[in-house]
Amino acid sequence: MKFLVIGGAGYIGSHFIYEAIEQGYQCIALDNLSEGHRQALHPDCDFVEGDLLDLQLLKKVIVDVNPDAVFHFAAYALVGESVSDPSKYYRNNVEGVRTLLEAMREQCPQTPLVFSSTCAVFGVPESLPMKENDPKKPISPYGRSKLMAEYLIEDYANAYGIKGMALRYFNACGAHESARIGEAHRCETHLIPNVIKSTLGGKPLVIFGDVFDTPDGTCVRDYIHVKDLAIAHIKAAEILIKKPKGFYDVYQLGTGQGYSNLEIVKTIEKVVGRPVEFSYGDPRPGDPPALYTAVEKAREGLGFEAQYSSLDYIIRTAIAWHEAHPDGF
């Protein structure tokens, strides 16, 4: 089977392609390389450089590839930047999805679309663990843009028969076991790579807040290894291919367990064998004390349960990547 991967040169997209090719699937990536890296692509992956907003290009690629499933990973994902430049986020994250849906509607209306979403659609959760149908009150343009995209896919499924599935990630982390690819963002805001970089001589680490209502006062988050995310996407496509036209559903991907910022730091200290210097800063506005997902729906509906998301494995694969590629790609 052939997979068309939109945003395939990014962090999660590139790991998905590695996993899919290792499982025997053929992959074709489309990416504008504004955030992704050509070097992150698997050597056996075909590549088209182009933009998600280019309708004619998308239609041509779909006709040329004739994919068995389409995967969307091509989103901007910096919460702070989305507040300062919401236009960029709504144009790419919402209009880009609509453009893809239009291309699929015209050229491959029965081809499944697996969409990468986020727990940011919830904002501050009303209860824990977070379930798929809990109230959604996103507090950033990023979160709102992803929720709008979910609605778009559902509406296109209802009106035009598109088959879609949204997968809401919690905290994606870790790296490929070979250390060939890993996390290398233009502006790194994620805790694990920033802690590791500080141990390798990077800038001093700041933990935002130590007064949250959690056991150690720092934020608690649900961390899932990027390999587990990749596996879940393949399972989603395999299921979606067999569904009738107009099918749409949402699943959340995490472990159901949270780790605090301080626990992350202590685990990295243990693995590297030296202390991590850090200071506490003010909590970021709107930062929830804890976020972790219920896992029952993904277990029952996708047959998915995280297998590679022990904190030790996450940290060790991330460290191996950063040690092998201190400057990224």
DSSP assignment string, 41-64? S-TT-EEEE--TT-HHHHHHHHHH
C-alpha 275: how far from chain center: 30
Closest listed residue to residue 70, CA positions, set 132, 28, 38: 28
Neighbouring C-beta atoms of residue 104, cutoff 10 Å = 25
| Contact yes or no for 206/274 (Cβ under 8 A) | no
Residue-wise pLDDT for 148-202, tens only, equals 999 999 999 999 999 999 999 999 999 999 999 999 987 888 999 999 999 988 7
pLDDT at residue 328, as a whole number? 92
CA 126 – CA 72 distance, rounded (Å): 29
Q: At 286, is the pLDDT very low, low, confident or very high (cuts 50, 70, 90)?
A: confident
- Which of the pair, 71 or 326, is modelled with greater confidence? 71
Residue-wise pLDDT for 239-249, tens only, equals 999 999 999 99
Q: What angle do CA 136, 115, 29 make, to 5 degrees?
A: 150
Partners of residue 166 on adjacent β-strands: 115, 250
pLDDT at residue 202, as a whole number? 74
Residue 284 has pLDDT above 90, yes or no: no
Query: Which residues are tagged catalytic?
Result: 142
Runs of H (alpha helix) within the chain: 11-22, 55-65, 79-84, 86-89, 96-107, 141-160, 191-199, 226-240, 261-272, 296-301, 311-324
pLDDT at residue 222, as a whole number? 99
CA 177 – CA 118 distance, rounded (Å): 24
- Average pLDDT, stretch 263-291? 93
Tokens of 292: 């972790």
Please, how many CA atoms are within 13 Å of residue 320, restricted to the half-sphere of its CB? 15
pLDDT at residue 287, as a whole number? 87
CA 173 – CA 176 distance, rounded (Å): 10
- Average pLDDT, stretch 203-218? 94
Residue-wise pLDDT for 88-143, tens only, equals 999 999 999 999 999 999 999 999 999 999 999 999 999 999 999 999 999 999 99
Residue-wise pLDDT for 28-71, tens only, equals 999 999 999 999 999 999 999 999 999 999 999 999 999 999 99
Q: What CATH superfamily is the domain 2-172+224-253?
A: NAD(P)-binding Rossmann-like Domain (3.40.50.720)
| Contact yes or no for 193/187 (Cβ under 8 A) | no
C-alpha to C-alpha distances, 126 to 37, 79, 289, nearest whole angstrom: 38, 20, 12
3-state secondary structure of 281: strand
Instruction: Report how many helices (DSSP H) and strands (DSSP E) the chain contains, helices first.
Output: 11, 14
Tokens of 327: 């400057």
C-alpha to C-alpha distances, 299 to 36, 244, 304, nearest whole angstrom: 31, 21, 5
C-alpha to C-alpha distances, 29 to 49, 60, 69, 307, nearest whole angstrom: 8, 14, 12, 26
Query: Tell me, what DSSP letter sits at residue 93?
Result: I
* Percentage of residues in the chain having pLDDT higher than 70: 100
| Contact yes or no for 199/252 (Cβ under 8 A) | no
